[in-house]
Structure 1
Amino acid sequence: MDYFTALRVFLRASQVRSFSGVAAELGMEVSTVSRHISRLEADLAVALFNRTTRGLHLTEAGGLLQARASRIMADLDHAREEVTLHNASPQGLLRINVPGCFGRRHVMPHMAAFLADFPDIRADVMLTDTTVDLIESGTDVAIRIGALPDSTLVARRLATQSRMVVGTPAYIARAGRPETPDDLRAHSCLLFTLHCGNAWYYRPDGATDTPFEKLPVTGLLKANESEALLDATLQGIGLALLPDWLTGPYLRQGRLVRVLADFEWVLAPGAERAIWAVYPPKKVVAPKVRSFIHFMSRRFRDPLYWDPS
């Protein structure tokens, strides 16, 4: 007996409640449908249906088999789909959501190479600093930066991220170089509007078991975007707490100087801070999504190309 075919016939019969209806739907003779059910019943030594002139009705045993068989056949279908997609060519429209500043500097410069590697993919890239609901917006994959909130999204870390206190040589010559975190209270510290509270947090570098200390700071300017804070810092308005992926080139060029490098700095304490690829949970991840994540993880692998050292 072809058990899988018999189970499929049984499941359709349990829904259609008619052997003739199942036969028409599956392109079989009614006698073939009846034979599949009879062989299942003989194998299990139970009646699966009560047959009346008004149709088929599941017995108690039939109801138990329907519940288990439905899960088994769904798992089988998912397994077949996953194996089929594993070797499928990445293709179709890939909707990507990326933070604006990071996207302009570290995603868009790689898109030509990505599309050349996967010529059957078309990309729709949305650059925004607003957290978008991936499911409602139909987004396939997003890049998120920082500590991830608890959610049902699947996350893969693409790269580490750290923040550093930086300023221009001219500003430091004018205002003095801070030697301790408390020295920052006397400096113009440029603040990120999207993080509530006029404070930065710090602890000794490498002291992962030590809680962060809160340091109230003030400054001449706030902005809601990292590039704006970078521009203000380059103009010598003050010191800023900026991510390494943004400051690297300017540190190498000597246009910015890092201070208080013996401390780990964050805008707010919390979970692990990194650069993540996130996507909606699915039993089977589309090849186009897998390809994008793998491509970006290779571009961002250690040592990170933006690392000033």
Structure 2
Amino acid sequence: MKARSDELQVFVSVIESGSISAAAEQVGQTPSAISRTLSRLEAKLDTTLINRTTRRMDLTEEGKFFLEKAKQILAQMDDLEERLAIRQQSPAGRLRINAASPFMLHAVVPYIAEFRTLYPDIHLELNSNDLIIDLLEQSTDVAIRIGTLADSTLHARSLGSSPLNILASPAYLKKHGTPTSVEALAEHALLGFTQTETLNHWPLRHAQGDRLEIDPSVSASSGETLRQLALAGEGIVCLSHFMTHEDIRLKRLQVILPEANSGYRQPINAVYYRNSQLALRIQCFLDFIQKKLARYAS
């Protein structure tokens, strides 16, 4: 068995205060409890630290050596606790964030300058991946995931949600016409995803329900690729508002069939492998991004 920090503290207190009774008063224990702790510590170390008589206590050579090292260990622990307390008051350290490329580009990158101004001691490491990653394997502190979560081993915090819009560029609509019904989409070039089948279920009300499964004319694994294709006039796309709100505002993309939209909103969650209170640097980032998302959540 290894010595515990509380046992080290008792040993140091006995030596510094000069007696077991004085040490007991100092640490808030009974003299008998102090004596038992010393005996237990010596048994663990398999050595005698203090020669005790009714009149005095003398450190053995092993006790002198152990006292010096115990003081160093306790001082290091105090310093560590103090440093952690300071970090909790002022967020600092490396923060590794993972998100799909569209979210990183449109909902994180535009606000990095502001975040760094607010928290200059947080060193960001931004990683993009359009596939689900293993947080531990990738040494990631927090990942932003869009859509319904399936991994029950993760702890999650909701950052809000974002509506899906059916979109096309003015150039595409001018050339091919604007569909006036859900059924009319069958006559158009539709842009969809290659890997996540549910992303090709558009939130459109029709005779068979409120989700329309499409057969894409062009497929891509990344939402950003589909956005670029739509901007280039290659077809009609269904994308989240968080990545297209500027395109809509600047009229680079136009919302179509709004009256048929069922109103489905994609959940946005931060996920992490922690059951205890989040480190302050993570908490600050999530609070910051959540406020930014709220600006264009509708």
**TM-score band w.r.t. shorter chain:** 0.5 to 0.7
Distance 2:112 2:285 in 1: 10
After superposition, the C-alpha distances for 1:13-42 in whole angstroms (9 at most, x for unaligned) are: xx569xxx9569843559849x858867xx
Match runs of 1:208-219 below 5 Å:
212-219=210-217
SS at match of 1:276: strand
Return the letter of the residue paired with 1:129: D
CA contact (8 A) 1:98 1:143 kept: yes
Partner of 2:286: 293
SS at match of 2:97: strand
Could you tell me how far 1:99 is from its partner in structure 2? 1.6
- Check 1:263–1:86 CA distance in 2 against 1; reply closer, same or farther (3 A cut): farther
SS at match of 1:237: coil
Distance 1:187 1:142 in 2: 36
CA contact (8 A) 1:202 1:265 kept: yes
SS at match of 2:229: helix
Q: TM-score, normalised by structure 2?
A: 0.68
CA contact (8 A) 1:233 1:240 kept: yes
Partner of 1:262: 259
Could you tell me how far 1:255 is from its partner in structure 2? 2.7
Partner of 2:128: 127
CA contact (8 A) 1:98 1:127 kept: yes
CA contact (8 A) 1:182 1:215 kept: no
**Same amino acid, percent of matched pairs:** 27
Could you tell me how far 1:163 is from its partner in structure 2? 1.4
After superposition, the C-alpha distances for 1:253-291 in whole angstroms (9 at most, x for unaligned) are: 32322111123369xx9xx72222222223131111111
Distance 2:93 2:199 in 1: 45
Answering whether residue 237 of structure 2 is matched by residue 237 of structure 1, we say no
Aligned residues: 248
- Check 1:32–1:204 CA distance in 2 against 1; reply closer, same or farther (3 A cut): farther
CA contact (8 A) 1:114 1:295 kept: yes
Match runs of 1:138-217 below 5 Å:
138-196=139-197, 199-204=200-205, 212-217=210-215
Distance 2:250 2:137 in 1: 43
Partner of 1:43: none
- Check 1:149–1:253 CA distance in 2 against 1; reply closer, same or farther (3 A cut): same
- Check 1:98–1:16 CA distance in 2 against 1; reply closer, same or farther (3 A cut): closer
Distance 2:284 2:151 in 1: 25
After superposition, the C-alpha distances for 1:100-151 in whole angstroms (9 at most, x for unaligned) are: 1221222122112111111221111112222222223221122222222232
Could you list the structure 1 runs, at least 4 aligned residues long, displaced by more than 4 angstroms after superposition.
Answer: 21-26, 28-33, 35-40, 83-87
* Residue of 212, 219, 242 corresponding to 1:222: 219
Distance 2:291 2:273 in 1: 22
SS at match of 1:130: coil
Partner of 1:11: none
Return the letter of the residue paired with 1:158: L
Distance 2:110 2:277 in 1: 29
Return the letter of the residue paired with 2:242: W
Q: TM-score, normalised by structure 1?
A: 0.65
Partner of 1:109: 110
CA contact (8 A) 1:156 1:276 kept: yes
- Check 1:236–1:203 CA distance in 2 against 1; reply closer, same or farther (3 A cut): closer
Distance 2:95 2:87 in 1: 17
CA contact (8 A) 2:164 2:266 kept: no
The unaligned stretches of length 5 or more in structure 2 are 45-80
- Check 1:142–1:217 CA distance in 2 against 1; reply closer, same or farther (3 A cut): same
Match runs of 1:18-29 below 5 Å:
22=7, 26-27=11-12, 29=14
Distance 1:238 1:23 in 2: 71
The unaligned stretches of length 5 or more in structure 1 are 1-14, 41-47, 57-79
| 169-178 vs 230-239, which moves further | 169-178
CA contact (8 A) 1:144 1:275 kept: yes
Could you tell me how far 1:241 is from its partner in structure 2? 1.0
Partner of 2:119: 118
- Check 1:288–1:145 CA distance in 2 against 1; reply closer, same or farther (3 A cut): same
After superposition, the C-alpha distances for 1:42-90 in whole angstroms (9 at most, x for unaligned) are: xxxxxx9xx9xxx69xxxxxxxxxxxxxxxxxxxxxxx99x95795210
